[in-house]
Amino acid sequence: MKRVTVFSDLRRIGDDMVTAIGMGTWGIGGYESPDYSRDKESVEALRYGLELGINLIDTAEFYGAGHSEELVGEAVKEFEREEVFIISKVWPTHFGYEEAKKAARASAKRLGTYIDLYLLHWPGDSWERIKKTLHALEELVDEGLIRYIGVSNFDLELLKRSQEEMRKYEIVANEVKYSLRDRWPETSGLLDYMKREEIALIAYTPLEKGSLARNECLAEIGKKYGKTAAQVALNYLIWEENVIAIPKAGSKAHLEENFGAMGWRLSEEDRGKARGCV
pLDDT tens sequence across 248-268:
998 999 999 999 999 999 999
Residue 8 has pLDDT above 90, yes or no: no
In this prediction, residues 20-24 reach a mean pLDDT of: 98
Residue 230 has pLDDT above 90, yes or no: yes
| CA distance to 32, 52, 82, 169, 228, per residue, from 258 (Å) | 26, 11, 23, 32, 10
What's the pLDDT score for residue 238?
Answer: 98
Q: Please, are residues 160 and 130 in contact by the beta-carbon 8 Å criterion? A: no
How many domains in the chain?
1
What's the pLDDT score for residue 27?
Answer: 93
* Domain, as residue range, for 172: 10-208+240-250
41, part of any domain: yes
68, part of any domain: yes
Q: Please, are residues 79 and 4 in contact by the beta-carbon 8 Å criterion? A: yes
In this prediction, residues 206-222 reach a mean pLDDT of: 97
CA atoms of 81 and 114, how far apart (whole Å): 9
pLDDT tens sequence across 165-184:
999 999 999 999 999 999 99
Specify the pTM.
Answer: 0.97
217, part of any domain: no
Task: Name the band, by pLDDT with cuts 50, 70 and 90, for residue 80.
Answer: very high
230, part of any domain: no
CA atoms of 95 and 267, how far apart (whole Å): 43
Residue 7 has pLDDT above 80, yes or no: no
Q: What angle do CA 158, 182, 72 make, to 5 degrees?
A: 75
What's the pLDDT score for residue 6?
Answer: 75
In this prediction, residues 146-158 reach a mean pLDDT of: 98
Between the CA atoms of 28, 117, 47 and 72, what dihedral angle is there, to the nearest 10 degrees?
-40
Higher model confidence: residue 3 or residue 26? 26
Find the CATH number of the domain harbouring 176: 3.20.20.100
39, part of any domain: yes
Kindly report the average pLDDT of the chain as a whole number.
Answer: 97
178, part of any domain: yes
33, part of any domain: yes
261, part of any domain: no
List, by residue number, the catalytic residues: 63
CA atoms of 148 and 173, how far apart (whole Å): 9
